[in-house]
Amino acid sequence: MVERRSPKPEAEGSSPSAPANKINKIMKNPIKFIQEVKQEAFKVTWPTGKETLQGALMVFAMAVVMSIFFLLLDQVLKFFLELLLKVSL
């Protein structure tokens, strides 16, 4: 059973006016907003070149494996369909 709680009134987003208030805060001080974005960007853990290369190679390998799988599946289905059509004629 899932416990359901009402949103906290002090939490942002709990009332419909919260998004508008957040936009107003951003518009009042855009320089502070840009500084906060920059700080958050520095917190991001970016992948290394080696990790990026490994990920790209894994995607390429899976694409090759899946294309071979679907080629073989297509050939098997084609064989059975031709066999079925020959029998029905």
Q: Are 79 and 71 in contact (CB under 8 A)?
A: no
Token pair of 60, please? 């390429």
Query: What is the mean pLDDT of the segment spanning 32-48?
Result: 90
Place of tokens 């599946």: 73
Q: Considering the entire predicted model, what is its pTM?
A: 0.51
Task: Give the per-residue pLDDT at 58.
Answer: 98
Q: In angstroms, how far is the first alpha carbon of the chain from the final one?
A: 60
Section 4-27 average pLDDT: 58
The domain limits of the chain are 15-44, 46-89
Q: What is the mean pLDDT of residues 45-68?
A: 97
pLDDT confidence of residue 63: 98
